[in-house]
């Protein structure tokens, strides 16, 4: 079946770009010397053509030479740069697109204490120029999500007037979402839809065509942001083939499709679009003529840069692998294109006979070789995975490769994701150095597709996990339940225990049966201990825990194993004017009243006893209700004296010596 090719009506130069290019051509026709401040458009071919006609590209106005007129491109320039040109009396022609100028006027006339929100790409020259013209403060948001995240800043700023504008090439669907977000934050915001109609029309037409086609060829510069957006739009619906010129096309990339659409960025000259149309028609015609020949000799299949192929590993050397991709070319993958890891060994990565998905990097038809890359395909797939993870919420895994100022970099599927310090650990102020070379799980918080950047969070996962654990805990917790917990922090009045999702507190009085001055006398941070629930305050989500166990209760031990009249060894723990306290068991001290210390009169207990001294005493009273124990040294001494005296008495029935 014959392939149908359609070209978008909106493809090619927009009004603003055409105006700027015409301005240059008119100058050239008049024989003027001109230079452009930055490339006039994001189209290498046109810039090269103009350069061949003597149009120089300069970075700063001061680089212009006498007799040269500077052309300001359609993006516009920063206010200070323009002022410098005026001050230095550098002749210039302003080709800033009138639609961009309209935005300059809006932001320049906002209130000085107002806030301007610019929806766009912060680093794009158009946005740089808009920012420089804001009379008050401004913020730039890449999308609606970024705008919502700045809600607090917008509210906190206490700004009287909030104004929102968009970069002229901003995605129209995203703009709708930005408006919705802003309305939720600030109902009085003034919103100016400054998306260029040409951009919106081009994007809408492209989307419609992409939906109806099997493949879309997007013609435009690799650095053109509006072209990149068209590629993104097409990718959502069909195969997207991005080319800068017709030379990048061949039969392999457009074969097999029945409906192919062509669109082009705002800075793509009509001539290049025509060349692409012609090249495609030619390729498709030849393809029909050659198909029989191709069927006869599959081994003479060709390949093209960027193509995805399956290669079978045919040999391995320490620096590269050879692969057969089913074409006449000798395929090879250098080690640097096989893995990101410079220390990786080829033989550990692949073995002979393995089938690998590879990307064609460079075809050399003269030498008959093709350089392939696994890494680039992995990175492309990884990039897509990371970009979509922001919407799907997928948890990614990666290795921390760098600790940098402000956070860490995590490598996942060949893509480095920045995780700010505030999002890198479960709690703030934790040392990031400990994460280096560790495998971590994280979520993507925001992405900037054009700048190929992503920001992630490890903390977001820890938070989610904790929430799940917390819910599980509260649904099962009961008084008396025991838990293994970790001592998280200590205060003067108790220890906080992490029970896995929920923290509970053991009051200092519950840590030990003995009197302690500080919880650190019993536990230390990081200890794993067994605790039980004493009380639950569901309303305030507070848990009181117990640590000391009943079986260790010294009063219970005392009741079981000690009785009045029993002689015990005790240690003097303190001395007072009325007696001495001695430890009977850890947690139970008994009083030896001053009158019970000795058979002799004692002036003060310290005269005969010292703290730490071990003495023998008799239990004279056990009062379990009042938790009181009385001891007596004297009672033992009395007993001993009585025993000695009785042993000194003559035995009963023995005749008394006669007295003469
Ligand atoms: Fe102007 Fe719109 Fe083109 S703003 S430069 S006409 S895309």
* Helix (H/G/I), strand (E/B), else coil: 357: strand
CA-to-CA distance for 238 and 230, rounded, in angstroms?
12
* pLDDT value of residue 381: 80
* pLDDT value of residue 249: 82
pTM above 0.85? no
Q: How far does residue 184's CA lie from ligand 1's centre (Å)?
A: 30
Q: Which atom of ligand 1 is nearest the CA belonging to 196? A: 2
Q: How many CA within 13 A on the CB side of residue 98? A: 6
Q: Which atom of ligand 1 is nearest the CA belonging to 197? A: 2
Q: How far does residue 168's CA lie from ligand 1's centre (Å)?
A: 7
Write the CA distances from 648 to 520, 634, 640, 642, integer angstroms.
57, 21, 12, 10
* pLDDT value of residue 652: 54
Q: 46: Cβ–Cβ under 8 A, 6 or more apart, which residues?
A: 21, 40, 267, 269
Q: Which residues, judged by CB distance below 6 Å to any ligand atom, belong to the binding site of ligand 1?
A: 14-17, 74, 97, 99-100, 168-169, 196, 198-199, 266
* pLDDT value of residue 186: 86
Scanning the structure block, which residue is given the tokens 């995240």?
149
Q: Which residues of the chain have pLDDT under 70?
A: 1, 157-160, 252, 286-306, 342, 365-367, 428, 450-451, 650-660
Instruction: For ligand 1, pick from 17, 126, 221, 269 the residue to mutate: most ligand atoms within 8 Å of CB.
Output: 17
* pLDDT value of residue 650: 63
500-559 pLDDT tens trace: 778 999 999 999 888 889 999 999 999 999 999 999 988 888 999 999 888 788 998 899
Of all helices (H) and strands (E), which one includes residue 129?
A: helix 125-132
Nearest residue CA, atom 2 of ligand 1?
196
Instruction: For ligand 1, pick from 75, 199, 202, 265 the residue to mutate: most ligand atoms within 8 Å of CB.
Output: 199
Instruction: For ligand 1, pick from 99, 197, 225 the residue to mutate: most ligand atoms within 8 Å of CB.
Output: 99
* pLDDT value of residue 7: 92
CA-to-CA distance for 135 and 186, rounded, in angstroms?
20
Nearest residue CA, atom 3 of ligand 1?
16
């Amino acid at each position: 079946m014959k392939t149908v090719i359609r070209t978008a009506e909106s493809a090619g130069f927009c009004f603003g770009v055409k105006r700027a290019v015409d301005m240059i051509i008119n100058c050239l026709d008049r024989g003027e010397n001109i230079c452009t401040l930055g490339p006039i458009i994001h189209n290498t071919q046109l810039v090269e053509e103009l350069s061949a006609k003597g149009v120089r590209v300069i970075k700063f106005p001061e680089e212009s030479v006498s007799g040269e007129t500077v052309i300001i491109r359609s993006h516009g320039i920063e206010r200070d740069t323009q002022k410098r040109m005026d001050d230095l009396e550098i002749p210039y022609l302003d080709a800033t697109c009138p639609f961009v100028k309209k935005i300059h006027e809006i932001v320049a006339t906002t209130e000085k204490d107002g806030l301007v929100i610019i929806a766009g790409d912060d680093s794009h020259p158009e946005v740089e120029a808009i920012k420089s013209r804001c009379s008050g403060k401004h913020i730039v948001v890449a999308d609606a999500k970024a705008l919502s995240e700045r809600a607090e800043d917008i509210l906190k700023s206490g700004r009287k007037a909030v104004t929102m504008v968009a970069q002229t090439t901003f995605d129209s669907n995203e703009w709708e979402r930005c408006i919705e977000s802003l309305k939720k934050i600030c109902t009085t915001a003034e919103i100016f839809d400054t998306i260029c109609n040409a951009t919106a029309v081009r994007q809408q037409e492209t989307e419609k065509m992409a939906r109806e086609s099997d493949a879309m060829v997007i013609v435009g510069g690799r650095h053109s942001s509006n072209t990149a957006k068209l590629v993104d739009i097409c990718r959502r619906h069909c195969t997207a083939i991005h080319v800068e010129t017709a030379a990048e096309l061949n039969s392999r990339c457009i074969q097999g499709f029945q409906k192919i659409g062509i669109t082009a960025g705002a800075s793509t000259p009509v001539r290049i679009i025509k060349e692409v149309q012609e090249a495609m028609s030619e390729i498709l015609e030849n393809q029909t003529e050659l198909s029989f020949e191709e069927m006869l000799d599959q081994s003479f299949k060709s390949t093209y840069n960027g193509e995805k192929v399956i290669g079978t590993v045919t040999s391995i050397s320490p620096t590269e692998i050879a692969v057969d991709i089913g074409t006449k070319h000798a395929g090879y993958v250098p080690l640097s294109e096989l893995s990101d890891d410079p220390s990786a060994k080829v033989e550990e990565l692949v073995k002979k006979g393995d089938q690998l998905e590879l990307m064609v990097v460079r075809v050399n038809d003269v030498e008959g070789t093709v350089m392939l890359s696994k890494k680039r395909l992995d990175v492309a797939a990884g990039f897509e995975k990371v970009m979509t993870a922001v919407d799907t919420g997928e948890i990614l895994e990666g290795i921390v490769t760098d600790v940098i100022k402000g956070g860490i970099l995590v490598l996942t599927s060949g893509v480095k994701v920045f995780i700010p310090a505030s999002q890198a650990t479960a709690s703030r102020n934790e040392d990031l150095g400990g994460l280096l070379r560790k495998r971590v799980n994280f979520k993507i918080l925001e992405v900037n597709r054009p700048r190929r950047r992503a920001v992630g969070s490890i903390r977001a996962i820890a938070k989610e996990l904790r929430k799940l654990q917390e819910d599980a805990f509260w649904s099962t917790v009961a008084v008396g339940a025991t838990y293994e917990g970790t001592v998280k922090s200590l205060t003067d009045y108790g220890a906080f225990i992490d029970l896995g999702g929920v923290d509970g507190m053991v009051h200092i009085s519950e840590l030990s049966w003995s009197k302690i001055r500080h919880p650190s006398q019993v536990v230390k941070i990081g200890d794993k201990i067994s605790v039980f629930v004493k009380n639950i305050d569901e309303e305030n989500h507070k848990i009181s825990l117990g640590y000391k166990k009943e079986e260790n209760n010294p009063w219970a031990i005392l009741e079981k194993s000690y009785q009045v009249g029993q002689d015990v060894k005790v240690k003097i723990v303190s001395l007072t004017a009325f007696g001495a306290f001695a430890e009977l068991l850890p947690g139970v001290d008994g009083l030896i009243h001053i009158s019970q210390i000795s058979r002799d009169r004692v002036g003060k207990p310290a005269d005969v006893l010292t703290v730490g001294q071990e003495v023998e005493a008799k239990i004279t009273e056990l009062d379990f209700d009042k938790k009181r124990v009385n001891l007596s040294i004297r009672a033992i001494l009395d007993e001993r004296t009585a025993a000695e005296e009785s042993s000194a008495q003559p035995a009963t029935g023995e005749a008394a010596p006669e007295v003469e």
